[in-house]
């Protein structure tokens, strides 16, 4: 990628933002690094020899000036509850594409409501271009298509990483007051957080998961139209070591999706990849490249914009229709 078209990485001073900047630089991009904290952004910009600008979302004039120089914004500044809508609105006003790496239910609902405005102004809006949504969203579309349209859909992830950035804990804390949710008959219904724990099988063994109100509930509905959806997250295991298992050189993260069709047909699939933060960096920059090259005006989920197989373009990522210890499913007529 020659980086000829200019785009902004907002929140570049954060942990994930720095990883995104590094990966973008390695791909030949020259993003404008932006955010609120001058010291961290300036240091990163100097290290990567990239331009930077200090911009606060509370300063509309400065934000408008910054957006005049770019074609796209990738937002890495969480909690997205506070940054996504004002930045997306500014992008709409400036005719600039908007992406983010968030996975917050309320944010997805707000951004998808901008679809008609985005379509009318030629702007692409895609929240959730990191691991937590790309993995499950593409799997959800894949298994739903396999049963001819899912009536019931379950999705889950288990992320593994060498180091987790501090932003995740803050994001979870800020969103917890809004409670738990599942989708039933096409509508969101409250679900107490901590209820509905179950065990699923992943390529490396069993995993306990519980319903959690992530952006998947909106993204999966957007990608499949399934009226009944539950999004799960892995239940933390306090006894698990924070390092790869003995003899394993890399971290392994997983996605899972299960669909039941209107005729009762069932299928499930798994996604196996590496470090979840490395996946996020690779996936987000791939979405930047796709959007700059082939923009699709409107507000979309990753799989709606790019298809179920988009996730397979991320290096080190494999989709499994059945696990090695199982027999392949019978061929459908």
Distance CA 97, CA 122 (A): 8
Same domain, 113 and 241: no
Structural domain harbouring 230: 133-275+313-320
For tokens 């930077």, what's the residue? 52
User: Model's pTM, two decimal places?
Assistant: 0.92
Same domain, 181 and 266: yes
Tokens of 127: 């929240």
pLDDT(246) > 50: no
Mean residue pLDDT of the chain comes to 90
User: Of all residues in the chain, what percent carry a pLDDT higher than 90?
Assistant: 79
Asked if the structure places residue 330 within a domain, the reply is no
Same domain, 82 and 171: no
Overall number of domains in the chain: 2
Q: What are phi and psi of 331, to 5 degrees?
A: -65, 140
pLDDT(156) > 50: yes
Asked if the structure places residue 327 within a domain, the reply is no
Give the pLDDT confidence score for residue 47 in this predicted structure. Answer: 96
Give the pLDDT confidence score for residue 194 in this predicted structure. Answer: 84
Residue closest to 104 by CA, chosen among 186, 177, 20? 177
pLDDT(202) > 90: yes
Same domain, 205 and 295: no
Query: Are the C-beta atoms of residues 104 and 126 closer than 8 Å to each other?
Result: no
Give residue-wise pLDDT tens across range 59-115.
989 899 999 989 999 999 989 999 999 999 999 999 999 999 999 999 999 999 999
Give the pLDDT confidence score for residue 236 in this predicted structure. Answer: 78
Same domain, 137 and 256: yes
Give residue-wise pLDDT tens across range 309-327.
999 999 999 999 987 666 6
Same domain, 138 and 267: yes
Asked if the structure places residue 152 within a domain, the reply is yes
How would residue 148 be classed by pLDDT, with cut points 50, 70 and 90?
A: very high
Give the pLDDT confidence score for residue 311 in this predicted structure. Answer: 98
pLDDT(285) > 50: yes
Query: Are the C-beta atoms of residues 220 and 229 closer than 8 Å to each other?
Result: yes
How would residue 172 be classed by pLDDT, with cut points 50, 70 and 90?
A: low
Give residue-wise pLDDT tens across range 44-60.
999 999 999 999 999 98
Same domain, 80 and 187: no
Q: What are phi and psi of 84, to 5 degrees?
A: -65, -50
User: Of all residues in the chain, what percent carry a pLDDT higher than 70?
Assistant: 87
Asked if the structure places residue 64 within a domain, the reply is yes
* Helix locations, the chain, DSSP H: 15-26, 38-48, 60-67, 80-94, 105-112, 115-121, 131-146, 167-175, 216-224, 276-293, 302-306
pLDDT(333) > 50: no
Same domain, 47 and 169: no
Give residue-wise pLDDT tens across range 205-242.
999 999 999 999 999 999 999 999 999 999 977 555 44
* Mean of pLDDT values over 303-307: 98
pLDDT(24) > 80: yes
Asked if the structure places residue 194 within a domain, the reply is yes
DSSP 177: G
Domain of residue 233, CATH code: 3.30.360.10
Query: Are the C-beta atoms of residues 91 and 123 closer than 8 Å to each other?
Result: yes
Asked if the structure places residue 325 within a domain, the reply is no
Same domain, 78 and 98: yes
CB atoms within 10 A of CB 252: 19
Same domain, 287 and 168: no
Same domain, 140 and 269: yes
Give the pLDDT confidence score for residue 331 in this predicted structure. Answer: 53
Distance CA 232, CA 220 (A): 12
Is residue 219 classed exposed, middle or buried when 0-12, 13-18 and 19+ CB atoms within 10 A define those classes? buried
Asked if the structure places residue 329 within a domain, the reply is no
Give the pLDDT confidence score for residue 32 in this predicted structure. Answer: 97
Domain of residue 48, CATH code: 3.40.50.720
**Within a 13 Å sphere around the CA of 26, how many CA atoms are in the beta-carbon half?**
11
How would residue 167 be classed by pLDDT, with cut points 50, 70 and 90?
A: low
Asked if the structure places residue 255 within a domain, the reply is yes
Give the pLDDT confidence score for residue 242 in this predicted structure. Answer: 47
Same domain, 145 and 62: no
């Amino acid at each position: 990628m020659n980086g000829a078209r200019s785009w902004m990485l907002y929140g570049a001073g954060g942990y994930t933002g720095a990883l995104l900047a590094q990966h973008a630089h390695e791909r030949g991009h020259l993003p404008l690094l932006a955010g609120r904290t001058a010291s961290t952004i300036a240091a990163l910009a100097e290290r990567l020899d990239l331009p930077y600008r200090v911009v606060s979302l509370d300063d509309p004039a400065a934000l408008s000036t910054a957006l005049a120089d770019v074609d796209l914004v990738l937002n890495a500044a969480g909690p997205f509850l506070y940054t996504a809508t004002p930045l997306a609105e500014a992008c709409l006003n400036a005719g600039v594409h908007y992406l983010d790496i968030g996975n917050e239910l309320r944010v997805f609902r707000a951004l998808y409501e901008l679809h008609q405005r985005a379509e009318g102004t030629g702007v692409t809006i895609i929240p959730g271009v990191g691991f937590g949504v790309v993995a499950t969203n593409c799997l959800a579309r894949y298994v739903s298509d396999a049963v001819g349209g899912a009536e019931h859909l379950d999705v889950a992830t288990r992320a593994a990483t060498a180091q987790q950035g501090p932003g995740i804990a803050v994001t979870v804390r800020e969103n917890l007051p809004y409670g738990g949710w599942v989708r039933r008959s096409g509508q969101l219904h409250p679900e107490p957080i901590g209820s509905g724990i179950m065990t699923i099988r992943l390529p490396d063994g069993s995993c306990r998961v519980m319903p959690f109100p992530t952006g998947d509930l909106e993204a999966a509905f957007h990608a499949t139209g399934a009226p009944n959806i539950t999004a799960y997250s892995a239940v933390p295991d306090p006894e698990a070591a924070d390092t790869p298992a003995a003899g394993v050189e890399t971290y392994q993260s997983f996605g899972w999706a299960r669909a039941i069709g209107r005729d009762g047909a069932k299928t499930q699939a798994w996604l196996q990849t590496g470090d979840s933060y490395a996946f996020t960096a690779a996936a987000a920059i791939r979405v930047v490249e796709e959007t700059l090259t082939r923009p699709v005006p409107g507000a979309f989920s990753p799989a709606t914009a790019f298809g179920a197989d988009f996730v397979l373009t991320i290096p080190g990522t494999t989709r499994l229709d059945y696990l090695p210890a199982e027999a392949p499913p019978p061929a459908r007529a």
